Amino acid sequence: MTDTIDPKITAAPADAGSDQNVTRAPQPPAAVVRPPALKRRIPSVADLAPLMQFKKPEFSKTARLKRASTIWELRDMAKRRTPQAPFDYTDGAAEEEITLRRARQAFQDIEFRPGILRDVSRIDLRTDILGQESRLPFGIAPTGFTRMMQSEGEYAGSQAAEATGIPYTLSTMGTASIEDVAAAAPNGRNWFQLYLWTDRERSLGLIERAAKAGNDTLMVTVDTAVAGARLRDVRNGMTIPPALTLKTVVDASYRPAWWFNFLTHEPLTFASLSRYTGTVAELINSMFDPTLTYQDLDWLRETWKGKLVVKGIQTVEDARQVVDHGADGIVLSNHGGRQLDRAPIPFHLLPEVTTGLASDNSKAAVMLDTGIMSGADIVAALALGADFALIGRAYLYGLMAGGRPGVDRAIQILEKDMTRTMALLGVSKVSDLNPDHVRLLQR
């Protein structure tokens, strides 16, 4: 007789001593115990009160600027508040604007490589540049026609730099004079940017004025033999001073604050030049010298007794050459993409240039500009070998967004970005940044 096992039998008794496979019947699920916090209930007034603290709307300039967390957000504000022609003069570049896009993309195409278990409770952003300390490792680049962007112009930039403890560079094409900027920021570290003209006597006059006003650094720009094709300016009919056409009047109708400031302050002129009327390109082509050679740089070195920086370096060989001819520093720059489209990208040049100068045992300072839109961009440049960075558009967006407070906000954003980025990298001071902290990604 064969024994059968009822499949409903769950298991053999504990003392059965059998290894038989026994089918077990499914057990009913255990009762789910719901945590008290997940039991539904009607909320009390006391529960709702903390959630209903409505903040009073703030419409002041300070509150508006404080809401900007990035330079891109300042740019958006600037675009809303500034007529198209001056905004495009700042925002645009040459021809198809390929160089500018590539420069910004270059900073995006990196990978940070952080270190862990480092003490980053205090981040020190100070650095030495050209023999003096700067509280932050960047300064304000030379920008032309600055009071056209916003009426405070160079005064806002120089005073913000003075308050922060960073250098400010006044352009030959500035709309405030060397003397007025020195008076507006008497305790600031003021540099002067020079375009050499065909009229050397006028150039010499500017150099003497810069020295007398206390500028410790002369920055000569060498990438403007002729004007670049800045097509936005051409399409906008950009002239100096801005012309009141039907288009500009319509454009002004929803940007009244800009026009009110423009029309109620001193007329826009080139403070370092004679009064000029015409297009930007016509001015550059008529005044700047396309015959410059290294002999002119030698003349500058003999004439200027302070620090001499050459801006517009785009090859390793040129970097070496200008240092051999007496430059104390160089700026890797393609003029913000505003001259030769498809020009080399300063950030890409950094490793080659620093290696090349190091092999010559050069102590020249290596700076760069173009494409910088965040403090992380500056940290990446410092890690790859730059001694210092210069910001142009980034501070001008702040200026257009809110005058001097807007420039202050742009600097604050960059400083906060840098502090956070360095802490996350495990780096507490600028001098500890090195190429191991950054990897260039291949596209």
- As a whole number of angstroms, the distance between CA 369 and CA 113 comes to 23
In this structure, are residues 366 and 386 in contact, taking their beta carbons and an 8 Å threshold?
yes
In this structure, are residues 320 and 269 in contact, taking their beta carbons and an 8 Å threshold?
no
Cβ burial, residue 418 (10 Å; 0-12/13-18/19+) = buried
In this structure, are residues 371 and 107 in contact, taking their beta carbons and an 8 Å threshold?
yes
3-state helix, strand, coil split of the chain in percent (to 5) is 45, 15, 45
* Three-state DSSP class for residue 323: helix
Residue at 203: amino acid letter:
S
Looking at residue 237, its pLDDT comes to: 76
Looking at residue 358, its pLDDT comes to: 94
| Residue with tokens 């300072």, as numbered in its chain | 365
- As a whole number of angstroms, the distance between CA 159 and CA 28 comes to 77
**Catalytic status, residue 348:** no
Provide the angle, in degrees to the nearest 10, between the axes of the packed helices 84-91 and 71-81.
150
User: Pairing between strand 127-129 and 132-134?
Assistant: antiparallel
Looking at residue 259, its pLDDT comes to: 79
Given the residues 265, 325, 335, 437, select the one marked as catalytic: 335
First to last CA, the chain: 80
In this structure, are residues 178 and 208 in contact, taking their beta carbons and an 8 Å threshold?
no
Looking at residue 33, its pLDDT comes to: 82
Q: What is the pLDDT along the chain (443 residues), one digit of tens a residue?
A: 445 445 444 444 545 455 555 567 777 777 778 888 888 888 887 877 777 776 777 768 888 999 999 999 999 999 999 998 899 999 999 999 999 999 999 999 999 999 999 999 999 999 999 999 999 999 999 999 899 899 999 999 999 999 999 999 999 989 999 999 999 999 999 999 998 887 788 889 999 999 999 999 999 999 988 888 888 888 887 765 556 566 766 776 778 888 788 888 887 776 666 555 556 666 666 667 788 889 999 999 999 999 999 999 999 999 999 999 999 999 999 999 999 999 999 999 999 999 999 999 999 999 999 999 999 999 999 999 999 999 999 999 999 999 999 999 999 999 999 999 999 999 999 999 999 999 999 87
Is 0.75 surpassed by the pTM of this model? yes
> Phi/psi at 6 (nearest 5 deg)?
-70, 120
In this structure, are residues 331 and 415 in contact, taking their beta carbons and an 8 Å threshold?
no
